[in-house]
Amino acid sequence: MVDNTRKAYWKSLAQRDDGTIPLPVAGSEFQEVPESGGRGLTRRDFLAAAGFTFGSVALTGCNRAPVERAIPYLIQPEAIIPGRATYYASTCGACSAGCGMLVKNRDGRAIKLEGNPDHPDSRGGLCAVGQASVLGPYDSKRLQAPLLKSASAKWDAVDGEIVARLEAIRRDGGTVRFLSGPVTSPTMSRMIDSFLGTFADARHVTYETLSMSAIHRAHERTHGARVLPRYAFDKAEVIVGFDADFLGTWVSPVSFAAGWSAGRNADAPRFSYHVQFEGRMSVTGAKADRRIRIAPGELGLAMTHLASMLAHRAGAPFDSGSPAACPIDAHLLEELADRLWHARGKCLVACGSQDVDEQVLCNFINHLLGSYGATIDVQHPASPVENRYHNDDAVQDLLRELASGTVDALFIHGVNPVYDLPNGADLAQTLPKVETVVSFSDRVDETSRHATYNCPDHHYLESWGDADAGDGTIAFRQPTMLPLFDTRSVLESLSIWSGRKQAAQAIVRETWASRGLKPAARRGATHGTLPSTMVLQWCAPTRSASARSDRSRSSPFEPHSPCRMASSRSYSIRKPPCSTGAARPTRGCMRCPIQYRRLFGTITPAFRSRRLRSLVWPPATSSASTPATPRASSYPFSFNRVSTIRSSPSRSVTAGRRALASPTSVLNGSSEDRSWATTAWWERTPHRY
């Protein structure tokens, strides 16, 4: 029964149609109310009429597209055809790994970077940072000219003042410091050394934001040498990463990614098993077979537990003290220890921690597993370039020196310590007190703001240079575009201030000529060999008689920098069949299924089931041959040493927790570490693998 006195609403279509509820009259729902109120023209009618009348005026605008100009060259450069890209082989300078790359240049501008498949270390990969670095030259924040006391100046004026100042320092035997990131370029290294060599008291200090210092120092303790070992991820069957983002940012991500993916080939008989312990999601964790979330402070604890499990299996003495309970499921860790133990000699444990104790523990685990000599190479460490071994202690020493006011001139290249360092704010206080601060930074940043002279370096895409990729590959860097602004290569700046002005290209050539490498005399000869290194590319002079017949190969920048693409045969556009059809696929292209498959394998049902089976532990069939346990006597260092540290109350395994509590604990701990290290027990122990 419907109550007619109140407004009723229908609740179903049947109810709506049976007529019991009065529905509003359809037509009257949206009633047109004349707005003018009277007869004749309503507001809407007026607008409609006016629209037609005046709107037609707008049609007169439909006339011509705006005038476009086509401005050709005055003098046609060879090899440049508008609309066609030129490719140059060069070397990535966005981090110290020195990956090879191909630079796509159109109309004189670098527009795209891709990995160079012929580079033996990076093997055609280019990481996200490298890819993004093509935007660097076009950054609107770049300094467009040198600054003299924060005011834009001419190079002559800046040079004049700096040279006069340096002369005074040379005369008075003053102190000069050169602060830089890790220098992987042999030429840069040589130039810094020869520049600093002109002063009585000069030192080169390096540090890196993503510091590897803890790894160096851990190896100094365990192996007696400050080295950054080489890691062979392709040879490892079980990979454990403790906060080491080796596919994303750790040490040399591109070459590690290539090695890692080579060990995870769907067609190969084996497929590595990868466990990642980390506190934040990284690319590496996302790619791992098992990702174990763990607080950064508990990393050391988990490693201690893993180490003691492995030491137990190896029958090696390891006194872990009485560490706190394992922060993760002990079964998981037991299973991992089992897997590692089964695959010993084919394991790789990587640790990205900044804590030396944790790195020592990592070395210990790797040693138990026989990784040294198998997947980790300390005999041929990552780079022969001395300055790659950046040293956090030396930076702190430098800061103390600066604070005490004993430094006369400070040169800062490629780093922003005020921003990067934990005690950068103190540095910001002391920098204005240093009499001469020269910054090579490409912008006014937190550090270079305090510089007396800003001498902006070229972007690496505009410079001559070289880089040591870390595996003995020396790769050269050539300008892929003309410098956009009034910047100057740091090599040239240093040569001028040393009193021997040279062009950057000549400086690079001189480095290699002095090591016995001559520029290729013949066009097309692009590879030369040095006694212990491989030379990837060498730019031959182009102004030869055959230049005209070789149009496509010569550089657009002949007058400025006679260089050319090292070998257009191998570096020309590679076009693998690409089913996406869109952008040109390259080996770094993750969007392209072909490339993706090459890196990560095809997922077929058979493969998937094999893969799933391999993830089950223990395996259905026990491994036929278990490698021999390393003999305790062959251990290069004493476990009791390690255990002493581990068990002492102040330096318990919760070292990681300390690190969490105070970001400078690594630095604070340094003096303790060194006093401990001065026992020099390793010097008595021969290390042979």
Partner 1 sequence: MADKGIRNVTAVLLIGAVFSVATLAARLGAFHLPGNNQGYSPEQPIAFSHRLHAGELLIDCRYCHYGAETSRHAGIPASSVCMNCHTFVTDTLGSLRAEDERAKEEERKPNRMVSSELQKLYGALALDDEMKPTPDGVPAPIEWIQVHNLPDFVYFNHSAHVTANVACERCHGAVETMERVSQVEDLSMGWCVNCHRDVNRVGLAGRSVNASLDCGACHY
Min dist CB 245 to ligand SF4, Å, is 12
Cα 538 to Cα 188: distance, rounded to the nearest angstrom: 17
Cα 174 to Cα 167: distance, rounded to the nearest angstrom: 10
Q: Closer to partner 1 by CB, 400 or 560: give it.
A: 560
Q: Which does 64 bind (CB under 5 to 8 A by kind): ligand SF4, partner 1, none?
A: partner 1
Of positions 5, 12, 28, 53, contacts partner 1 by CB under 8 A: 53
Of positions 82, 269, 649, 686, contacts partner 1 by CB under 8 A: 82
The two tokens of residue 565 are: 């693409």
Site for ligand SF4 in 51-70 (CB under 6 A): none
Q: Which does 70 bind (CB under 5 to 8 A by kind): ligand SF4, partner 1, none?
A: partner 1
Q: Which residues 6+ apart lie within 8 Å of 446 measured at CB?
A: 416, 418, 419, 424, 428
Does residue 59 bind partner 1 (CB under 8 A)? Answer: yes
Query: What does 484-500 look like in DSSP terms, one character per residue?
Result: SSS---HHHHHHHHTT-
Q: Which does 124 bind (CB under 5 to 8 A by kind): ligand SF4, partner 1, none?
A: none
Does residue 240 bind ligand SF4 (CB under 6 A)? Answer: no
Q: Tell me the three state secondary structure of residue 444.
A: coil
Min dist CB 584 to ligand SF4, Å, is 18
Residues in the chain: 689
Q: Closer to ligand SF4 by CB, 136 or 384: give it.
A: 136
Q: Which does 95 bind (CB under 5 to 8 A by kind): ligand SF4, partner 1, none?
A: ligand SF4
Stretch that binds partner 1, among 44-52, 197-205, 302-310, 317-325 (CB under 8 A): 44-52
Instruction: Name which of 481, 416, 390 is nearest 111 in CA terms.
Output: 481
What is the maximum span of the chain, computed from C-alpha positions, in angstroms? 113
Site for ligand SF4 in 72-91 (CB under 6 A): none
Cα 436 to Cα 438: distance, rounded to the nearest angstrom: 6
Does residue 228 bind ligand SF4 (CB under 6 A)? Answer: no
Min dist CB 562 to partner 1, Å, is 20
Cα 467 to Cα 184: distance, rounded to the nearest angstrom: 5
Cα 89 to Cα 101: distance, rounded to the nearest angstrom: 6
Does residue 156 bind partner 1 (CB under 8 A)? Answer: no
**Residue indicated by tokens 């550089």:** 555
Min dist CB 76 to partner 1, Å, is 4
Does residue 475 bind ligand SF4 (CB under 6 A)? Answer: no
Count of positions on this chain that bind partner 1 (CB under 8 A):
33
Min dist CB 262 to ligand SF4, Å, is 17
Q: Where are the alpha helices (DSSP H) in 449-592?
A: 490-497, 504-513, 568-571
Does residue 382 bind ligand SF4 (CB under 6 A)? Answer: no
Q: Is 344 in contact with 369 (CB distance < 8 Å)? A: yes
Stretch that binds ligand SF4, among 95-103, 240-248, 325-333, 568-576 (CB under 6 A): 95-103
Instruction: Name which of 631, 683, 636, 629 is nearest 360 in CA terms.
Output: 636
Site for ligand SF4 in 117-156 (CB under 6 A): 122, 126-127, 129-130
**In Å, how far are 113, 239, 289, 608, 620 from 611, measured between CA atoms?**
35, 16, 10, 5, 13
Does residue 95 bind ligand SF4 (CB under 6 A)? Answer: yes
Min dist CB 50 to partner 1, Å, is 6
Stretch that binds partner 1, among 54-62, 123-131, 179-187, 380-388 (CB under 8 A): 54-62
Does residue 399 bind ligand SF4 (CB under 6 A)? Answer: no
Q: Closer to partner 1 by CB, 551 or 610: give it.
A: 551
Cα 480 to Cα 461: distance, rounded to the nearest angstrom: 6
Of positions 181, 253, 323, 417, contacts ligand SF4 by CB under 6 A: 253
Q: Which does 667 bind (CB under 5 to 8 A by kind): ligand SF4, partner 1, none?
A: none
Of positions 17, 18, 22, 41, contacts partner 1 by CB under 8 A: 41
Of positions 2, 582, 632, 661, contacts partner 1 by CB under 8 A: 582
Which is it for strands 175-180 and 409-413: parallel, antiparallel or unpaired?
parallel
Does residue 49 bind partner 1 (CB under 8 A)? Answer: yes
Q: Is 485 in contact with 461 (CB distance < 8 Å)? A: no
Q: Give, as one character, the DSSP assignment of residue 298.
A: G
Q: Tell me the three state secondary structure of residue 176.
A: strand
Min dist CB 258 to ligand SF4, Å, is 11
CA 394 centroid distance within chain = 23
Of positions 19, 24, 38, 577, contacts partner 1 by CB under 8 A: 38
Q: How far apart are the first and last CA of the chain?
A: 97
Q: For every residue of 216-284, which 3-state class applies, written as one string?
A: HHHHHHHHCCCCCCEECHHHCCEEEEECCCCCCCCCCHHHHHHHHHHCECCCCCCECEEEEEECCCCHH
Binding site for partner 1 (CB under 8 A): 36, 38-41, 46, 49-50, 53-54, 56-57, 59-60, 62-65, 67-76, 81-84, 582
Binding site for ligand SF4 (CB under 6 A): 92, 94-95, 97-99, 122, 126-127, 129-130, 253-254
